[in-house]
Structure 1
Amino acid sequence: MKIEMGESLFYSWLRHVKECQIVQTNWKPSPSWQLQNEEDLNRFMDVTDEHFQNKYGYGVYKNNSLSQLLMQAEVDALGISLSDNGMELYAIDVAFHESGLNYGDRQETVMRVIKKFVRTALCLIGYFGAAQGEIIFASPKIHNAIINDLEPCTADLNALFLKNNYNFTARVIANDDFDELVLNPILIASDGVSDTSELFMRGYQLINMFGDARRTSRQRTKVPETQHSASTDTLSELKIGKIAQTFLREALENGKADDEEINLMRTKDYSKSQFGIDFPLLVLASEECDSARYYAKPFTIRGVQYRLCSQWFEVPANNDRPLLLSWLERNDAIA
């Protein structure tokens, strides 16, 4: 069986960064499935074909019918995240060309990416009955000339999605963004992962194991204050709960809050005003509490063990994210 490292990478990214409970690589539709909304799919195909032909001279579909287009469909990594915030759907194609993304000439490369976006959207509509989701094309190296052509096309496609009542977002993640939005978040979010099926993570852990040995002499003289650092872009990919479990926990372990504030964090009023949550941020690990409201793994602040509240939300009606990030910034816990 052929194993693609890019697919393994995004399998782990979906599981640990986007917190998808259901993830499949190499997803393909079955010919036995009933296609839904076929009339709408044909209409949207016509709309996009006309737009890209008239504006850019791109024959995206090359006279393929809807059935021919869907027969070619394959999504490298598909993820579904279920939470109190609802269902989030992610569909990813990843390409790794060492000399830079190349499907032929410059125009052909851009058309192929747009075709992948639309075909994936048609699959989500036709086989899942979905009208929203995030569709990603990712590559660690795409030349600037192709990026410059691809960006306006992607923006146009997103506008066409909205105009046709589809809440899909097409995204290209490439070059520096690939590092900031994919690699960095996954290395932050996947601490403690030991699943041997996650080949990218096992490879990283192997490198890190020997890297730790090589760094030992330097670390004897200076112990880093925190284990993690992240840019604003990296944080934007992480769920709020993961930010709390990683950065807030480390900040508290490293003494960013004094004893007075730690005591205040054990009160509901302070926790609500500073973090927006409806429960005390901290409870003693030894005291009884509603275990469903707190992370199971305790941590230590100045020799005392606590549990951290797990009730974090980031929806328009209840968004705790700005308050959490504000506290972390004020206390120099994030870059």
Structure 2
Amino acid sequence: MTNTESLMVLWLKHIEKCQVTQTNWNAAISSWELRNEDDIKKLMAIMSKFFLKNFQLNLYESPITPLLFLQQGNIEVLGLKINSSATNIYGVSITHDKSSFDSGNFLGPLEEIIKKMIRTALLTIGYFNISNANIIFAEPKINKNLYESLLNVISGLNNIFESMGYDFTFELIVNGNYKEIVFEPVIKLTKAANDSSELFSKNVQMSQTSSIRSDNNTTTKIGKFIRIEFEKLMDNGLLTEEIVHNLCDNNYSKEILDLRFPMLKRYNDKQSLVEQRLVKGNGRYYSHVYYINGQKYLLTNDWYEKNRGKLLMWINKIKTRK
């Protein structure tokens, strides 16, 4: 088991609360029935055309059956989160050839990652027979060119699966996001648990730490960081009416971002700015008025370092989903 696989298992178990985790999960293809085969064939055909047109990548070198494609790999880290009404599946892909990330030619690792994520998604559809899952590519460090290409890949995959009626979320957890979302929360929890059966050895921790690069996300103070990132989302037209509506909801802001107040508050021209910034007598919103989709809003200033991880995950999902 690699360092990244070990860390992702702990992340799924302790942070995402998965009751079942497994590395290198393989389907018993010779014994199990393949479900939704027609959908899998359609998805493979759509994705073949998409990646040939947009990335000049020929995903399948020759005509290939779904069974043969699924046999060519596994789900490197699998997590099952089970409650009384539903099962949520996490399929995590990583790569074992780290040296390719530092090379000038990133098409090789890009193709490898695409195939891994697609195969993970199709294994989920074919053998778990569910229509919702989280498909993640996780790595402590990848180069800028590969990262930017993967953002377009993730956006395309989300759109393709949504068009086929599947509620799949494809996402990247890499570089600074990996440190904030996975590494630091897991290390903090495992240290507190003092459980030697689950703690990394010193060598593993040192290896993980050295592989995570410094990132502006972690050095910029949280208040400044949220304003910078929020304005980027505005400038790029990513704050849809639905997203803005959700951010004005207290329950959504609490559940998704762990905020004590709604992230956004509708501005009222008939009321003073000073009054609107207050919550129970305390200033909980910035004084700057944001114009979004023709309406005015205030942004909460009640941010803490504990919010950074969930904030990064939310921003990443907004950026990669059209």
Which bracket does the TM-score occupy, shorter chain normalised? 0.5 to 0.7
Does the 8 Å CA contact 2:222/2:304 hold for their aligned counterparts? Answer: no
What SS is found at the alignment partner of 1:30? coil
Q: Distance in 1 between matches of 2:139 and 2:257?
A: 33
Deviation at residue 61 of structure 1 after TM alignment: 2.2
Q: Counterpart of 1:326?
A: 260
Q: Aligned AA for 2:17?
A: E
What SS is found at the alignment partner of 2:79? strand
Q: Distance in 2 between matches of 1:322 and 1:6?
A: 25
Change over 3 Å in CA distance of 1:118–1:205 after alignment to 2: closer
Change over 3 Å in CA distance of 1:12–1:331 after alignment to 2: closer
Q: Counterpart of 1:124?
A: 124
Deviation at residue 23 of structure 1 after TM alignment: 0.8
Q: Distance in 2 between matches of 1:205 and 1:107?
A: 32
Q: Counterpart of 1:38?
A: 37
Deviation at residue 56 of structure 1 after TM alignment: 2.3
Q: Counterpart of 1:269?
A: none
Change over 3 Å in CA distance of 1:138–1:334 after alignment to 2: closer
Q: Aligned AA for 1:28?
A: N
What SS is found at the alignment partner of 1:326? coil
Matched residues, number? 227
Change over 3 Å in CA distance of 1:33–1:326 after alignment to 2: same
What SS is found at the alignment partner of 2:22? strand
Matches for 1:271-286 after TM superposition, within 5 Å: none
Q: Aligned AA for 1:325?
A: L
What SS is found at the alignment partner of 1:202? coil
Does the 8 Å CA contact 1:70/1:123 hold for their aligned counterparts? Answer: yes
What SS is found at the alignment partner of 2:134? strand
What SS is found at the alignment partner of 2:27? coil
Deviation at residue 190 of structure 1 after TM alignment: 3.6
Match of 2:201 among 199, 203, 208: 203
Deviation at residue 116 of structure 1 after TM alignment: 1.1
Q: Counterpart of 2:2?
A: 4
Q: Distance in 1 between matches of 2:146 and 2:168?
A: 23
Deviation at residue 83 of structure 1 after TM alignment: 3.5
Does the 8 Å CA contact 1:29/1:73 hold for their aligned counterparts? Answer: no
Q: Distance in 2 between matches of 1:4 and 1:58?
A: 28
Deviation at residue 72 of structure 1 after TM alignment: 1.4
Q: Distance in 1 between matches of 2:3 and 2:85?
A: 31
Q: Counterpart of 1:23?
A: 21
Deviation at residue 183 of structure 1 after TM alignment: 0.5
Show CA shifts across 1:70-127 (max 9, x none).
1112112101112367432111012355546379942222121111111111100000
Q: Counterpart of 1:73?
A: 73
Q: Counterpart of 2:214?
A: none
Q: Percent identity?
A: 28
Q: Counterpart of 2:157?
A: 157
Does the 8 Å CA contact 1:77/1:93 hold for their aligned counterparts? Answer: yes
What SS is found at the alignment partner of 2:133? strand
Show CA shifts across 1:308-327 (max 9, x none).
xxxxxxxx996553796227
**Normalized against structure 1, the TM-score is what?**
0.59
Q: Distance in 2 between matches of 1:175 and 1:7?
A: 16
Q: Distance in 2 between matches of 1:154 and 1:98?
A: 20
Bigger Rg, structure 1 or 2: 1
What SS is found at the alignment partner of 2:81? strand
What SS is found at the alignment partner of 2:201? helix
What SS is found at the alignment partner of 2:107? helix
Q: Distance in 2 between matches of 1:151 and 1:332?
A: 27
Show CA shifts across 1:55-80 (max 9, x none).
22211122233122111121121011
Change over 3 Å in CA distance of 1:73–1:104 after alignment to 2: farther
Deviation at residue 172 of structure 1 after TM alignment: 1.7
Change over 3 Å in CA distance of 1:73–1:99 after alignment to 2: closer
Does the 8 Å CA contact 1:103/1:109 hold for their aligned counterparts? Answer: no
Q: Distance in 2 between matches of 1:181 and 1:188?
A: 12
Q: Counterpart of 2:57?
A: 58
Give unmatched runs, 5+ long, in structure 2.
207-220, 224-248, 262-283, 285-300, 308-322
Change over 3 Å in CA distance of 1:191–1:56 after alignment to 2: same
**Normalized against structure 2, the TM-score is what?**
0.61
Q: Distance in 1 between matches of 2:184 and 2:135?
A: 20
Deviation at residue 187 of structure 1 after TM alignment: 2.5
Does the 8 Å CA contact 1:52/1:59 hold for their aligned counterparts? Answer: yes
Are residue 142 (structure 1) and residue 76 (structure 2) matched? no
Does the 8 Å CA contact 1:95/1:101 hold for their aligned counterparts? Answer: no
Change over 3 Å in CA distance of 1:132–1:324 after alignment to 2: closer
Alpha-carbon RMSD: 3.3
What SS is found at the alignment partner of 2:165? coil
Q: Distance in 2 between matches of 1:109 and 1:6?
A: 17
What SS is found at the alignment partner of 1:172? strand
Deviation at residue 137 of structure 1 after TM alignment: 0.9
